Structure 1
Amino acid sequence: MKSLYSMFLSQAYQDCWDDYNRSVKLKNFPRWDYVILTASNDQQAEGFRRQIEERKEYLPARTRFAAVPDRDGERVGSGGATLEVLKYLHEQERDFRKLRVLVIHSGGDSKRVPQYSALGKLFSPVPHQLPDGRSSTLFDEFMICMSSVPSRIREGMVLLSGDVLLLFNPLQIDYNNVGAAAISFKERVEVGKNHGVYVNGEDGNVRCCLQKKSEEELRKAGAVNEAGCVDIDTGALIFSTAMMDSLYSLIGTEEGYDRYVNGTVRLSLYADFLYPLAEDSTLEQFYLEKPEGEFCEELTEAREQVWKVLRPYRMKLLRLAPAKFIHFGTTKEILALMCGGVDAYASLGWSSRVASSISGSTAGYNSVLSSRASIGKDCYLEVSYVHSHAKVGNNCVLSFVDIHDEVIPDGVVLHGLKQRDGKFVVRIFGVQDNPKENRLFGRNLDEVAEKLGTDLWDGGNHTLWTAELYPEKDTVREAVAAALNLYALVIGEGRLEDWKEGPRKSLCSGFNAADPDAIIAWNRRMADLVRMDELAKAIRGQVPAQTLPKRKALTKIQRHWLEKRLTRADFSEKLRLHYYLGVVLEDENEVQKCFGTIQSEVLEATVRSLSYNEKAHIVKDTHTVKLPLRVNWGGGWSDTPPYCNEHGGTVLNAAILLNGEKPVVMKLERIDELKVVFDSRDMDVHGEFEEIGELQRTGDPFDPFALQKACLLACGIIPMKGHSLKEILERLGGGFVMHSEVTNVPKGSGLGTSSILSAACVKAVFEFMGIGYTEEDLYSHVLAMEQIMSTGGGWQDQVGGVTPGLKYITSMPGIDQKLKVVHVEIPEEARKELDERFCLIYTGQRRLARNLLRDVIGRYAGNEPDSVFALEEIQKVAVLMRFELERGNVDGFAKLLDYHWELSKKVDAGSSNTLIEQIFSSIEELIDGRLVCGAGGGGFLQVMLKKGVLKKQVAERLHEVFMDSLVDVADCKLLWE
């Protein structure tokens, strides 16, 4: 039954949401002509107007919204406020007929929930994120839930209590614009005794209205049915236009307005306007009904006139089912709702955490809780930020405050409020405290005043509401400290001299002096910070960037947050902040900043290790270095920044000859002219340099001599800045020419030619210039070259081609990668078998002209699960490959090559394409393992043949399928020595 009840309410709310959207978007959809909010004073009314303006795009454009304050800031009662509304409407329209008016009585001080006083309880948070992503308030829920009502009434005025949220199906409203109607539904008598209750007559009209009567009195009056339920007063009423005219007649003259709308009479909507409508009411009893203010002669005279104008009308009882009302009464009730009670409304989408970046069990609304902060049980954060070093006790409510390293005691409310003069007041009181009473943290306030040695009240009632306890400070953080000091003083600790310094505010005066713009701005600020903190936590939690909701451009507050965060972020967080923002904002500039961060951080670490070699000199007239190519077998991509910087890399690769040659050639030649000449035959470019500036200018990916320049800088031949090229060359013993060439290797081969050419360049320079080196020196200088050139690639290629044989290469995490290279020895039989079964196939096409590296790094930086898993698994494959080869198990190696191919496609789907799959498919029965060379997408493929299969058979099959195309078996040989 409970689930069916929830389903009905959920469907009713969905219907209301649909009608709400129609009212906003459709010109002719029935909507309210006026929505009027009553306010306690001009300041609160202005706050209401600001909140409405803030929601302008979410409200029906043809509905007029108004906030009507109590007269002269004097409390005139809910009945007096209703008359103020009628006066306002009459000034606007002169005629109430054909008007649909929604009035929300929201002018209370919210004394029992002081954190909502400044903007009124009407704009207090509701634990619900609306379907359009906004954090909801009571006002938002009212607008949604009442959006279907205009279509159910022809004209008239609907009145609601601003602290009671009604959930019901508006289709059940049946009102014919006669007299009044009270909206009610059944509720347990235990609940009803704390609210108003209607007793229904036989004709469907209300027989009597009972306000906060005991269960015994309710039963005696016949208000309780056999199920123990009553017709509860929800505070929702409908007045006909005729009734509106009659009520307006009381104040149609200035004399009448003065008589009935004032702080002495304080007419009540519920006690004074409803009572005459009940069938069993009598004038004599009416005089005795408990007033909203005090009994007085003026009230008696007013009631006599109210009786005359309203007694002709009756009030129909509209019983709705299923229905529910939620009373936002006290701080204690709100804390209970947020810390468990909200589960009862899960079917409506309510949750203990709304638009908040909070983990654990803490409830929150537009709030951030640092994962490193300490917080107790059953706490509720409201538009607040709890930073990493804060300690918050149990059963606390934090509202509109930032907590940094403070210790918040158990069971307190801490509420920040900016004043119109720019100062801050933070009010602290107990969750159990009732500000209408004379107690604070359970202690008598008169005794507290005596302990503090000062009078807390300037006359009037001695209540917490009016006690001048809270110091006014320049900043919210100072105000938090002052509030905590007050708590310490009350319990017998604290610094009395600090508390006495400067002006103090009461709950009441702080509310009256509040700055509504600042409250709205703080709410907006926290909404912005929540989104940024969610982003940071998503990065830490490895939530894939692509799964996060898209957003608009960053606000000023979010930009400031980002700037501060980046200054203290480490390498990993910094690059991901940019990448994640690029994804959620769909901003390519931020994505590029991610790659720029990787390049700059690694380059910076590289440059720090470089030094100008003033001792180098040319020792040979000419010198040539030839290097082989390499095939990647295991661990490819794990050698690429930022993965290798964060996790280290593991790679297994081997050197190869192509067409019986070492195709990567670098030749250096001394010349007498004091200049540097670069000559690249395969690229058909030639350049001569006599000034050092051009040689020091690097980082342009389109520079045809980027490699040669980077080599001279990395090897210390040319300094990074300054100096004279002529002087350098004189010291070296002459100028020189650098000839580079990669022979008979198609572009985009996937065999590591670019990086191996870098290695050849470094090796040739070292030997030409008489610089001693180790293998490790070669690797580190080539790494430096790669970063200077801004290529962003990995380190496996150059290692694979520098020396013959099979290499197992690893690195530890770190910006400055230190390579450990092990030359793997395998049994002679396994070598022979590999020579026979290893086969290289040319696809006939270059790799596609697309940014493979960018896509792969992006998927990894964005924590795409397939990519992260595959990169980790790929390293394990490299380890297992070495193990299988060292024990001579070539079949096991072949299976791992196949598995690596599947993982490579998870890292980057672009590593394969239709042609590659067709090639593999055409020779499926001839091979045991397959993998692309390099990044894939073209170039060469490598396969392990089945035992007994000849390379000639593969070539014949390829010729048969692909005929005269370039797809063919390559002349390749593993270079062991």
Structure 2
Amino acid sequence: MGEEAAAGRLQRETQRRLAQYSSMRGREVRPGEFWDVIVITAADKQQERAYQQQIADKLARKELPLGVRYHVFSDPPGPKIGNGGSTFYALHCLNQLYPHELDSFRVMLIHAGGYSQRLPSASALGKIFTALPCGDPVYQMIDLKLAIYIDFPANMKPGVLVTCADDIELYSSQGTAVKFDKPGIIALAHPSTLAIGTTHGVFVLEKCDSEFSELQIRSCRSYLHKPSIEKMRQTGAVTVDPSKTNLSGSPNNNNPRSEIVYTDSLFYMDHQTSKLLLYFFQELGGLKCEIDAYGDFLQALGPDATLDYTKDTANVSKVETQLTDVRRKIYFLLRETEFTVIVLNNSKFYHIGTLQEYLHHFTSDAKLQAELGLQANVFSIIPDQDKNLNKVCVIQSILDARCHVSPRTVIEYSRLGPGVSIGECCIISGSCINISSAIPNKSFVSSLSLLIDGRLMYATILFGIEDDLKKSVASLSDLNSLQIFSKSLLQHLQLWGIQVSENLFSSDQKSLWSARLFPAYRTLQESVEASLEMLKATCRQSQVHLGDAERLSIEEMLKYKNVEEMLNFRNHLYKEICADRQGKV
């Protein structure tokens, strides 16, 4: 009954926050009621413009609270600087814009740079604008972030809250507010399995003698970044889940899996701490290496923190010569900073950063669906309302009554015509499929609008849900180890009439991400039909001939993407759905 009651509290609190945010969309917020500034970081100027346009569109449709300063800051040109570097640069930009006011602002900083290679449906327009199967109009990840954190500004001293674009934190605290009112850095912590701890940050907390409660304020001895289970045990990070113990405080023998660690999500820093980082960045004169806001800031904190992590490059994509020196300087800069952890014992942390996570959470995760009120049909036209949409998720799309969609599939911002059959565990994004076709299980189909040499073009991405777009090979002789639709890339090149040459890839990283596979055409319909012909060839193991159409990699498509045209396509769907609704009133 205890677990059921806790789950009920979490669901009620989440629904209350969602309703409170819904009441703020499209109206001017009162002073102190909401964030003063909301910053989204971007990887480059092109992504910055895409984010700015989407924020402007959401404000025009009154889908965001008004009277807030919304900003997008792209990383400066040069080497990848990570979300830590983005934090430095965002603070620098804010200080330039608000040199006299910043100390009084409550700032929410959302890291949304990167190109979502593991969630390519978000690559063109950004993870932070990923559509969710809830809300009216449709919520995007930015809306959910603002809703879930709705209580924070009123309980927060001026400072900066740092979070990421692809996670969801839900919690209940039995009426006790989460307060960011202590000096230094304050982080939220969530009970997790040891396996989850190996892929997140883990807190080594001081022992707690107080009674179990849903919210506890704890001192932290050190922070471990993606540690091994052995390291967690050695440092004392592993503890018994307090919600799974008997009255004597011993583990409940009926629940042998009661060992947990406390993992990270977001953190807050007061303006004194943010100024330390800002002045450091200014003295440094810029950054030329990849710094992690969690691994490199938080590992410097706590009485047991050591310099050991500054030499660990296991999680760095490219090691620059400046890296160790900058990490050492950050360690000495922050080592005396106060570090508090707010433990949320009744909380959930959901990550939506991969296609598999995306499909599971939106089509099959009954708990998350109950907590967020996720639906099968959100702001869409599906003429046959009795159509079997069991474990199907349709978001701002128009489906013909004669199409068929199988379970555990997501359709977003798309139009499906008669005779279209979509298999299980598929994602169809931003596309228009009007010809009779059968999309096999575990397929990903996404169309992009492009602007190439002043010409409007279209290309449709196609691959398997389980394909690894990031895996690369050293040479063309290794192409057999790259898999697409669970078969070798080399085999597909032969079926699709693509020659193996040095020109096959758009960069030195030879991967599915940089492979020039997808033909570009003057119309969306042509690009969809060509990709469906490629898919048919894959299923039948027969060759397809697509003429001399220029083939692009996903990497190149993102350079050529026409954000305005893609948003126009979504807007046409939006208007058609609104008109259909009005006609039924």
Question: Given the two structures, how large is their TM-score scaled by the length of structure 1?
Answer: 0.51
Structure 1 match to 2:549: 502
Q: Please give the secondary structure, in 2, of the residue aligned with 1:97.
A: helix
- Structure 1 segment 747-758 matched on structure 2, within 5 A: none
CA distance in 1, matches of 2:530, 2:338: 55
The two structures, once aligned, show a CA RMSD in angstroms of 2.5
Say whether the 8 Å CA contact 2:186–2:269 is kept in structure 1: yes
Specify which of 176, 179, 195 is matched with residue 181 of structure 2.
Answer: 176
1:149 aligns with 2:160: no
Q: Deviations over 1:67-87 (max 9, x none)?
A: 111112753211111111011
Matched to 1:517, the amino acid is E
- Structure 1 segment 400-479 matched on structure 2, within 5 A: 400-404=430-434, 405-420=436-451, 421-437=455-471, 438-446=482-490, 448-449=492-493, 452-455=498-501, 456-479=504-527
1:126 aligns with 2:132: yes
Cα gap change, 1:53/1:477 in structure 2, threshold over 3 Å: closer, same or farther? same
Q: Deviations over 1:545-575 (max 9, x none)?
A: xxxx7x4xxxxxxxxxxxxxxxxxxxxxxxx
How many residue pairs align between the two structures? 528
Specify which of 333, 351, 355 is matched with residue 357 of structure 2.
Answer: 333
Cα gap change, 1:109/1:22 in structure 2, threshold over 3 Å: closer, same or farther? closer
Structure 2 match to 1:303: 327
1:205 aligns with 2:219: yes
Q: Deviations over 1:337-364 (max 9, x none)?
A: 2322155432431123222334212321
Q: Deviations over 1:618-639 (max 9, x none)?
A: xxxxxxxxxxxxxxxxxxxxxx
Cα gap change, 1:2/1:387 in structure 2, threshold over 3 Å: closer, same or farther? farther
Q: Deviations over 1:264-316 (max 9, x none)?
A: x1111122111111332212442225343333431112112212211121321
Structure 2 match to 1:10: 11
Cα gap change, 1:214/1:485 in structure 2, threshold over 3 Å: closer, same or farther? farther
Q: Please give the secondary structure, in 1, of the residue aligned with 2:168.
A: strand
Q: Please give the secondary structure, in 1, of the residue aligned with 2:505.
A: coil
Cα gap change, 1:291/1:326 in structure 2, threshold over 3 Å: closer, same or farther? closer
Deviation at 1:436, TM superposition (A): 0.9
CA distance in 2, matches of 1:315, 1:303: 18
Structure 2 match to 1:247: 277
Matched to 1:337, the amino acid is H
1:521 aligns with 2:552: no
- Structure 1 segment 498-647 matched on structure 2, within 5 A: 498=546, 501-531=548-578, 551=582, 581=583, 584=585
Q: Please give the secondary structure, in 1, of the residue aligned with 2:555.
A: helix
Q: Deviations over 1:154-195 (max 9, x none)?
A: 111000011101223585323324110111121233433333
Matched to 2:419, the amino acid is H
Say whether the 8 Å CA contact 1:156–1:177 is kept in structure 2: no
CA distance in 1, matches of 2:111, 2:261: 21
Specify which of 89, 95, 100 is matched with residue 94 of structure 2.
Answer: 89
Deviation at 1:66, TM superposition (A): 0.5
Matched to 2:237, the amino acid is A
Cα gap change, 1:468/1:18 in structure 2, threshold over 3 Å: closer, same or farther? same
Say whether the 8 Å CA contact 1:206–1:314 is kept in structure 2: no
Question: Given the two structures, how large is their TM-score scaled by the length of structure 2?
Answer: 0.84
Q: Please give the secondary structure, in 2, of the residue aligned with 1:272.
A: coil
Cα gap change, 1:291/1:332 in structure 2, threshold over 3 Å: closer, same or farther? closer
Say whether the 8 Å CA contact 1:363–1:380 is kept in structure 2: yes
CA distance in 2, matches of 1:162, 1:313: 26
CA distance in 1, matches of 2:276, 2:339: 15
Deviation at 1:453, TM superposition (A): 2.0
Q: Deviations over 1:233-285 (max 9, x none)?
A: 343010111111110112225xx233x2x3xx111112211111133221244
Structure 1 match to 2:163: 160
Say whether the 8 Å CA contact 1:427–1:470 is kept in structure 2: yes
Deviation at 1:454, TM superposition (A): 2.5
CA distance in 1, matches of 2:227, 2:493: 36
Deviation at 1:229, TM superposition (A): 4.7
Structure 2 match to 1:365: 395
Cα gap change, 1:272/1:324 in structure 2, threshold over 3 Å: closer, same or farther? same
Structure 1 match to 2:211: none
Cα gap change, 1:60/1:409 in structure 2, threshold over 3 Å: closer, same or farther? closer
Deviation at 1:496, TM superposition (A): 4.7
Cα gap change, 1:432/1:71 in structure 2, threshold over 3 Å: closer, same or farther? same
Say whether the 8 Å CA contact 1:391–1:408 is kept in structure 2: yes
Structure 2 match to 1:270: 294
Structure 2 match to 1:781: none
Structure 2 match to 1:487: 535
Specify which of 352, 366, 386 is matched with residue 376 of structure 2.
Answer: 352
Say whether the 8 Å CA contact 1:271–1:289 is kept in structure 2: no
Deviation at 1:196, TM superposition (A): 2.4
Cα gap change, 1:328/1:422 in structure 2, threshold over 3 Å: closer, same or farther? same
Q: Please give the secondary structure, in 2, of the residue aligned with 1:236.
A: strand
Cα gap change, 1:46/1:73 in structure 2, threshold over 3 Å: closer, same or farther? farther
CA distance in 2, matches of 1:104, 1:94: 21
Cα gap change, 1:376/1:28 in structure 2, threshold over 3 Å: closer, same or farther? closer
Say whether the 8 Å CA contact 1:122–1:137 is kept in structure 2: yes
Deviation at 1:458, TM superposition (A): 4.0
Larger relative contact order (Cα-Cα within 8 Å, sequence gap ≥ 6):
2
CA distance in 1, matches of 2:494, 2:340: 55
Q: Please give the secondary structure, in 2, of the residue aligned with 1:297.
A: coil
Q: Deviations over 1:50-74 (max 9, x none)?
A: 1111221343333210011111275
Q: Please give the secondary structure, in 2, of the residue aligned with 1:111.
A: coil
Q: Deviations over 1:303-339 (max 9, x none)?
A: 1221221112132111124222221021122122232
Structure 2 match to 1:396: 426
Q: Deviations over 1:886-918 (max 9, x none)?
A: xxxxxxxxxxxxxxxxxxxxxxxxxxxxxxxxx
Structure 2 match to 1:937: none
Specify which of 200, 206, 230 is matched with residue 260 of structure 2.
Answer: 230
**Considering only CA atoms, is the larger Rg found in Structure 1 or Structure 2?**
1
Q: Which runs of 5+ in 1 are unaligned?
A: 536-548, 552-580, 585-977
Cα gap change, 1:410/1:175 in structure 2, threshold over 3 Å: closer, same or farther? closer
CA distance in 2, matches of 1:291, 1:334: 23
Say whether the 8 Å CA contact 2:240–2:260 is kept in structure 1: no
Structure 2 match to 1:386: 416
1:257 aligns with 2:285: yes
Q: Please give the secondary structure, in 2, of the residue aligned with 1:312.
A: coil
Cα gap change, 1:347/1:276 in structure 2, threshold over 3 Å: closer, same or farther? closer
Deviation at 1:488, TM superposition (A): 4.2
Q: Deviations over 1:113-168 (max 9, x none)?
A: 11101111111111212xxx211111011111222211111111000011101223
Q: Please give the secondary structure, in 1, of the residue aligned with 2:72.
A: strand
Say whether the 8 Å CA contact 2:155–2:181 is kept in structure 1: no
Matched to 1:454, the amino acid is V
Matched to 1:410, the amino acid is N
Deviation at 1:495, TM superposition (A): 4.6
* Stretch moving more, 268-277 or 152-161: 268-277
Matched to 2:529, the amino acid is A
Q: Please give the secondary structure, in 2, of the residue aligned with 1:317.
A: strand
Say whether the 8 Å CA contact 1:99–1:156 is kept in structure 2: yes
Cα gap change, 1:154/1:520 in structure 2, threshold over 3 Å: closer, same or farther? same
Q: Deviations over 1:346-397 (max 9, x none)?
A: 2431123222334212321112332222333432211112111222233221
